């Protein structure tokens, strides 16, 4: 059974959103690197790679369904931030936005009775819970420890082990 044109388009748009996410995190990594926060730069670089994997999962799904993939333009990400906490708050808000996008895809798959796409999206629903938890818990760490130089140094060291 073929997937609908609207579902193919929505998944192609999500492929773009995942690459945009990858670039946002790669730019965050570069910002941290230039700020001497190597642990945070490492964490964000890993996140960048995860986002590329997310895009590839959607690409492979379209291939599996015999559909055409459109390789998108990637939006230029924001380059600088006021401090590390602003970066992680931005990342957390971004993951909440991505979750809302995934839920819209699920809504579309349900409305179209597209069971195969619903099944594929289940992985992303679970993954988004983890993504929100990962970024949200770092914001919570800042709230607990404070946003002074000592706390930033400690969090940087911790994130180096991701």
CB of 133 to ligand FEO, least distance (A): 11
Which of 60, 67, 71, 68 lies closest to 19 in space, CA to CA? 71
Residues engaged in binding ligand FEO (CB under 6 A): 18, 21, 51, 54, 95, 98, 131
CB atoms within 10 A of CB 9: 12
Q: Which residues contact 149 (CB under 8 A, 6 or more apart)?
A: none
Interior/surface letters 102-111, b for 16+ CB within 10 angstroms, e for the rest: beebbebbee
Cβ 18 to ligand FEO shortest distance, Å:
5
Minimum Å distance from CB 21 to ligand FEO?
5
Nearer to ligand FEO, 21 or 29 (CB): 21
User: Which residue has its beta carbon closest to ligand FEO?
Assistant: 54
Q: Which is nearer to ligand FEO, 95 or 114 (CB)?
A: 95
CB of 99 to ligand FEO, least distance (A): 8
């Amino acid at each position: 059974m073929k997937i609908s044109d609207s579902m193919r388009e929505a998944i192609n748009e999500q492929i773009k959103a995942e690459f945009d996410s990858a670039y946002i995190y790669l730019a965050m990594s570069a910002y941290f690197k230039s700020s001497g926060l190597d642990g945070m730069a490492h964490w964000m670089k890993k996140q960048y790679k995860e986002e590329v994997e997310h895009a590839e999962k959607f690409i492979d799904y379209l291939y599996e369904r015999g559909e055409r993939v459109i390789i998108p333009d990637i939006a230029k990400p924001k380059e600088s931030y006021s401090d590390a906490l602003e970066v992680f708050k931005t990342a957390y808000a971004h993951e909440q936005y991505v979750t809302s996008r995934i839920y819209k895809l699920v809504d579309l798959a349900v409305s179209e009775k597209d069971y195969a796409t619903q099944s594929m999206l289940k992985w992303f629903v679970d993954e988004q819970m983890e993504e929100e938890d990962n970024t949200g818990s770092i914001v919570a760490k800042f709230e607990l420890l404070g946003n002074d130089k000592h706390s930033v140094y400690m969090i940087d060291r911790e994130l180096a082990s991701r």
